[in-house]
Amino acid sequence: MDLTVKIGDVVVSNPVGVASGTFGYGSEYEQLIDLKSIGALFTKAVTWEPRPGNRIPRIIETTSGLLNSIGLANVGREGFAKEKYPFLSGLACSTFVNVAGNTEDDYARTVEWLDEHAPLTGYELNVSCPNVKEGGLSIGGSARMVEAVTQRVRAVTDKPVIVKLTPNVTDITEIARAAEAAGADALSAMNTLVGMVIDVDTCQSVLPGKTGGLSGPAVLPVGVAIVYRVSRAVSIPVIGIGGIEGPDSALQYLLAGASALQIGTANFVDPTVTDRVLDGIRNFLSQHNLTAVSEIASLLDR
């Protein structure tokens, strides 16, 4: 049974990863699960400088979902290299640093710096950030900006570069093709959906920044549809993310065309969810007499 997934030149041991922002830098979950069993760990976002994050409250539960506005709270590149890298570099699983920024330069210089001072398996670019040089427009909302950021990063590293797409766009396949054209090795689909909760007692938005990012089971069908469309628009691997909480939801992504997965919010609910999902994938392969994860997508009528 072949559970491996190839991202660029890297072979990831299995398709079940953990999503950026939900797994810290790995050590937080060390006592709760065997980190060797994870295919790939995507770190909390790292930015050039440390960021304190947003005002509170930062999270609120919604019906079958979680709305968050963390604000990329992180220790910055130097803090990452000093405090987080030693643990991550000792892990057996693949480790991708999620990188965020507000300009093309931010992404390129952060990746270049990390390549020299804290090299891991590769990078995932969080492009759901405002571009400060273009009036705060989301980088991920513009094919041109995604292409430019990806190109800049591609030029400074030989490691795999994954672009994490935002669903908050009109045509995600256009953005996906732009990332592929600029040299991305894979795409993560999707980041959180913009959402808002208003407290009817106070008549105010619960989150100080008004809106946040929605994750959890509520977004599963959105993510599956996005992976279905994106995987048909590009020829690089697509990593399915959004609402996976067990084997069934994970298999929906693989059937839709995902080559691999990331589990996010469900880690908070059940730290052993990654093991359950991997077992479910193994069972599914056996039941369908398949020998590789990559064959699952062929079962879905096009």
Residue whose CB is less far from other proteins, 65 or 140: 65
Q: Which helix (H) or strand (E) holds 273?
A: helix 273-287
Helix, strand or coil, per DSSP, at residue 230: helix
- Examine the residue annotation and report whether 93 is marked as an active-site residue of this protein: no
Among 73, 181, 196, 233, binds other proteins (CB under 8 A): 73
Strands 40-42 and 94-99: parallel
Binding mask 1-40 for other proteins (x = CB under 8 A): --------------------xxxx---xx-xx--------
The secondary structure of residue 83, as a DSSP letter, is I
Helix, strand or coil, per DSSP, at residue 274: helix
Phi, psi of 275 (to 5 degrees): -65, -45
192 sits near other proteins (criterion: CB under 8 A)? no
Picking from 80, 109, 107, 78, the residue whose alpha carbon sits closest to that of residue 95 is 80
Q: Which helix (H) or strand (E) holds 171?
A: none
Residue whose CB is less far from other proteins, 220 or 285: 220
Question: Which residue of the set 129, 143, 176, 207 is catalytic?
Answer: 129
Closest distance of CB 85 from other proteins, Å: 17
Closest distance of CB 220 from other proteins, Å: 12
Closest distance of CB 19 from other proteins, Å: 11
Q: Which helix (H) or strand (E) holds 168?
A: none
Q: Which helix (H) or strand (E) holds 193?
A: strand 193-196
**Ranges within 40-69 binding other proteins (CB under 8 A):** 44, 50-53, 56-61, 63-66, 68
What angle do helix axes 220-233 and 247-256 make, rounded to 10 degrees?
Answer: 30
Among 78, 112, 270, 295, binds other proteins (CB under 8 A): 270
Closest distance of CB 150 from other proteins, Å: 27
Binding mask 198-217 for other proteins (x = CB under 8 A): ------------------xx
Among 204, 272, 283, 298, binds other proteins (CB under 8 A): 272
Spatial distance between the Cα atoms of 167 and 160, rounded to a whole number of angstroms: 22
Spatial distance between the Cα atoms of 81 and 177, rounded to a whole number of angstroms: 32
Closest distance of CB 115 from other proteins, Å: 25
State both tokens at 257: 């065309």
Q: Cite the active site residues.
A: 129
Interface residue list for other proteins (CB under 8 A): 21-24, 28-29, 31-32, 44, 50-53, 56-61, 63-66, 68, 70, 73, 216-217, 265, 267-272
